[in-house]
Amino acid sequence: MYVAVKGGERAIENAHAWLAEERRGDPSVPELTIAQIREQLSLSVNRVMAEGSLYDPDLAALAIKQARGDLIEAVFLIRAYRTTLPRFGASAPVATADMACDRRVSATFKDVPGGQVLGPTFDYTHRLLDFKLAAEGETPPAPQREADPAPVPHVTGFLNQEGLIEEAPHDDTPPPDLTREPLKMPADRSLRLQALSRADEGFTLGLAYSTQRGYGRNHAFVGELRIGTVPVEMEIPELGFAIEIGEVTLTECETVNQFTGSKTEPPQFTRGYGLVFGQTERKAISMALVDRALRWEELGEDDTGAPAQDAEFVLYHADNIQATGFLEHIKLPHYVDFQSELELVRKLRRDVQSTQTKEAAE
Amino acid sequence: MNETTADISARKAWMGLMAKAPAARVGALLDGACARPDFKWLRPPEVGSVMVRGRAGGTGAPFNLGEMTVTRCALRLASGEVGHAYIQGRSKADAEAAALIDALMQTGQAATLQTAVLDVLAADRAALTKVRAEKAAATKVDFFTMVRGED
């Protein structure tokens, strides 16, 4: 029940003024610029773009500044802005096989054409705090080596040649769009992939981890993980042909999973897929594991009742903006609701007491 | 304009190059090359989004990955040529410069702009791409066998 009340305007105004001051922090410390956030907190920027579902590094950096570094609040700001934009159309599906890779590793094949390219990774760092970063200093340029211009093919292609892995056959069915139609069950794989790509990283990671620990067991190898840029091409109706309208950095993860076969499928390796905006590899690997777990039905596997196999549970709880919106609204005034609860509890207590008194009298 | 396949592929190339150019670069190169001609807007610059799609498994059925910001506009030069722009990001000034160049590339100034703008953009891009590819190549693992166990 909702009852409109007035009051609190001045308190709200003053709270916002104080928020702005706290956001700025100590004025003797130089203010952060958007460019500094974009360039130096780029993995935060990438996460906000991925979960905000809008690729624009400057906007994500602005949102991070405005949100005082609260990334879910920043995602919220991006989602709200996104709804104000007219949609010009949809791109042709990006060709990740042609990615200009910064990083490309395979945990399943040592000697893949194109090689194991580590890229700018935290892997193999010792996770010891580097106090040199607390002092200002120049970063020496990264070493360079002549690059092989040959394309870097997808690793799963090699298993495909032997017929040992399920194929992902070409298909041009226009995909459903959960930004246009509310999410409905059953959700086909394209809808699940859209939801997972913008899902909360922590939630996706937790679910993916649960599958590794045995809830909906499907032992995953990272067949390939690649990070790099791909051009985005779109058909322009007024021109009558397609042009490149930009370029995005993506992280793609393909898992290769053991599969002993089912009623409908022969023994072979199956695949999970993750594709996320930006350099976001924890999220992309998590997405691939959860995607694979959710495919139990189409692969004829048993439903073991694991949370990661339950599409309704996963997809309806993976969006951190929906989740935080509902969660945080309970701190807003519910005076009238609570008043009626109070009345109810008082009445129940009176009833119990009077029954007890009556029983005691008898 | 009756465009042949060669015309279309050339136009695709320059429009794509300008769509991916760094902020303010296209306008600066244009102003370095020639005075801006008079034009009328057919569609004033407009910021919007494009839904970027991927494919399940990289090759399978398409799905909606997320949106990106795009600015578009269309204009007509006093001499009649129509220029279009669809560029990444939210810069209306960059979209205007890109549409002007798209129109001017259909005029006698095409050769000048090809060298003064498009070749420069292409060279900038090639240099950046090369440096990144070489940094990646420097992180490529060279495996060597330490011990091979006997059966």
Q: For the segment A226-274, what is each residue's pLDDT rounded down to a tens digit?
A: 999 999 999 999 999 999 999 999 999 999 987 777 777 778 888 999 9
**Residue A4 pLDDT grade (very low, low, confident, very high; cuts 50, 70, 90):** low
Whole-angstrom distance, CA of residue A314 vs CA of residue A308: 6
- Taking contacts as CB-CB distances below 8 angstroms, the residues of chain B near A274 are none
Phi and psi at residue B30, to the nearest 5°: -60, -45
Residue B30 lies in a domain: yes
- Taking contacts as CB-CB distances below 8 angstroms, the residues of chain B near A180 are none
Q: What residues contact residue B123 under an 8 Å CB cut-off, 6+ apart?
A: none
pLDDT, tens digit, 9 for 90 and up, residues B109-124 = 999 999 999 999 999 9
- Taking contacts as CB-CB distances below 8 angstroms, the residues of chain B near A124 are none
Residue B41 lies in a domain: yes
What's the gap in Å between the CA of B19 and the closest CA on chain A? 5
What's the gap in Å between the CA of B88 and the closest CA on chain A? 5
- Nearest by CB: A197 against B19, B65, B141: B65
Calculate mean pLDDT across residues A154-169: 82
Buried-exposed string A195-215: b where 16+ CB fall within 10 A, e elsewhere: bbbbbbbebbbebbebbeeeb
Residue B53 lies in a domain: yes
8 A C-beta contact, residue B123 and residue B56: no
Portion 14-73 of B in contact with A at CB < 8 A: 15-16, 19-20, 46-70, 72
> A19-24 contacts: CB < 8 A, separation 24 or more?
A22/A68, A23/A65, A23/A66, A23/A68
Residue that is written with structure tokens 């360079």 in the block: A144
8 A C-beta contact, residue A303 and residue A309: yes
Residue A1: its pLDDT value, please?
54
- Nearest by CB: A273 against B56, B88, B89: B56
Residue B77 lies in a domain: yes
Residue A240 zone, left/alpha/beta (φ > 0; ψ -120 to 50; rest): left
State which residues form the domain around B70.
10-138
In whole angstroms, how far apart are CA A347 and each of A243, A335, A341, A361?
A: 70, 18, 10, 21
Calculate mean pLDDT across residues B123-144: 93
Give yes or no for residue A11 having a pLDDT over 60.
Answer: yes
CB contact under 8 A, A148 and B137: yes
B132 close contact with A: CB closer than 8 A: yes
For chain B, what is the mean pLDDT? Answer: 93
- Taking contacts as CB-CB distances below 8 angstroms, the residues of chain B near A120 are 139
- Taking contacts as CB-CB distances below 8 angstroms, the residues of chain A near B87 are 245-246
- Taking contacts as CB-CB distances below 8 angstroms, the residues of chain A near B50 are 87-91, 232, 234, 245
CB contact under 8 A, B137 and A147: yes
Residue B59 lies in a domain: yes
Whole-angstrom distance, CA of residue B85 vs CA of residue B74: 6
- Nearest by CB: A143 against B8, B59, B138: B138
Tally of domains in chain B: 1
**Residue A5 pLDDT grade (very low, low, confident, very high; cuts 50, 70, 90):** low
CB contact under 8 A, B63 and A170: no
CB contact under 8 A, B12 and A243: yes
Whole-angstrom distance, CA of residue A222 vs CA of residue A135: 38
CB contact under 8 A, A168 and B55: yes
- Nearest by CB: B66 against A118, A197, A245: A197
Give yes or no for residue B29 having a pLDDT over 90.
Answer: yes
- Taking contacts as CB-CB distances below 8 angstroms, the residues of chain A near B130 are 147
Of A179, A186, A143, A178, the closest CA to residue A295 belongs to A186
Least confident range of A79-93, A216-230, B54-68, B115-129: A216-230
Portion 96-125 of B in contact with A at CB < 8 A: none
Whole-angstrom distance, CA of residue A65 vs CA of residue A24: 9
Residue B55 lies in a domain: yes
- Taking contacts as CB-CB distances below 8 angstroms, the residues of chain A near B146 are none
Residue A163: its pLDDT value, please?
78
- Nearest by CB: A82 against B16, B49, B130: B49
pLDDT, tens digit, 9 for 90 and up, residues A98-120 = 999 999 999 988 888 888 999 99
8 A C-beta contact, residue A147 and residue B134: yes
8 A C-beta contact, residue B90 and residue B48: no
Whole-angstrom distance, CA of residue A278 vs CA of residue A51: 11
Calculate mean pLDDT across residues A67-86: 97
Whole-angstrom distance, CA of residue A17 vs CA of residue A260: 62
CB contact under 8 A, B89 and A144: no
Residue B43 lies in a domain: yes
Residue B145 lies in a domain: no
CB contact under 8 A, B66 and A49: yes
Whole-angstrom distance, CA of residue A336 vs CA of residue A349: 20
Whole-angstrom distance, CA of residue A238 vs CA of residue B83: 11
CB contact under 8 A, B67 and A116: no
Give yes or no for residue A135 having a pLDDT over 90.
Answer: no
Calculate mean pLDDT across residues B61-69: 97
Calculate mean pLDDT across residues A151-173: 84
Residue A151: its pLDDT value, please?
84
DSSP 8-state symbol, B88 = E
